[in-house]
Amino acid sequence: MPARPADNASILLHGVDFTSAPRSKKGITIASGTLTGDVFHLTALTTLNDFAAFSSWLALPGPWLGAFDFPFSLPRALVSQLAWPQHWPDLMTHLASLSRATLRETFKAVCDARPVGSKFIHRAADLTAGSSSSMKWVNPPVAYMLHAGAPLLLEAGVSVYPMHQGDPERVALEAYPGMLARSITRDSYKNDAKAMQTPARAAARAVILDAIERGNYPHAIKFDAGSFRQDLLDDASGDLLDAVLCALLAAWGWQRREQQYGLPPCDALEGWIVGAPAATTNPSQNI
């Protein structure tokens, strides 16, 4: 399911920092730009305050490639255990039919029946990217992010790689900015609570920004912040920086569009996180 052929100058790249509860004080944040050689140039930062605005944004014509910070699917082992649909579009339709309360109760029942230390089931990509299980409903509530976001991708008719072929000029990849950030520093760089927005976290944002500007991290895409550099440093929530990290992963994937966006062979129900290394453990491993 390759993207429509386009050169770097004609493709718009987006990084999307998602929230399962968009509102005026914390919206869905999008970093957009273009790629010249190995340099991603940031041209716009956008904040959307509700899902209707997000759906309208998804409908914007391409060609574009977006990297989205929310899980696109669930572990196959969990889906099989629950006897839910094992074809991605059908699974997303089923998820959309459930309330958040039902989703939480269902996942909690699964966790309660599992031994201490291995409550959550993980996808193979979670294990290599260091991301939370997509069935986790708190700290962070990525299950709610999946529930809110992935069905909207299906509804918008975009291509969701590698699970679903939609519009080849609008392509969505799953991203995890924490993976990229941790490749630079293990220090905390963000917090939504004002009391936790410390000088140390501001310093960590500066470290990350300096590294990505120089391309000094494993994915090696250099970053040109343009007029937005101070905004990225000043945003203590980290939403703007997370959107940029997703955009850099989109750029990395776009460079590898002829090689499946750099994704290794993977389960088409579970999907993969762009830029995450190939699995070295059994894909069905649960932790």
Q: Where residue 287 falls among pLDDT bands split at 50, 70, 90?
A: very low
CB-CB contact of 54 with 28 (8 Å):
yes
pLDDT, average across residues 136-163 = 96
Quickly tell me which residue has 């630079």 as its tokens.
Answer: 184
Alpha-carbon distance 253 to 206, whole Å?
25
Q: Percent of the chain at pLDDT above 90?
A: 89
pLDDT (tens digit per residue) in 160-196:
999 999 999 999 999 999 999 999 999 999 987 888 8
pLDDT (tens digit per residue) in 56-86:
999 999 999 999 999 999 999 999 999 999 9
Both tokens of 68, joined, read 């989205």
Alpha-carbon distance 131 to 111, whole Å?
18
What pLDDT shows up at residue 8? 59
SS3 158: strand
Residue 3 has pLDDT above 80, yes or no: no
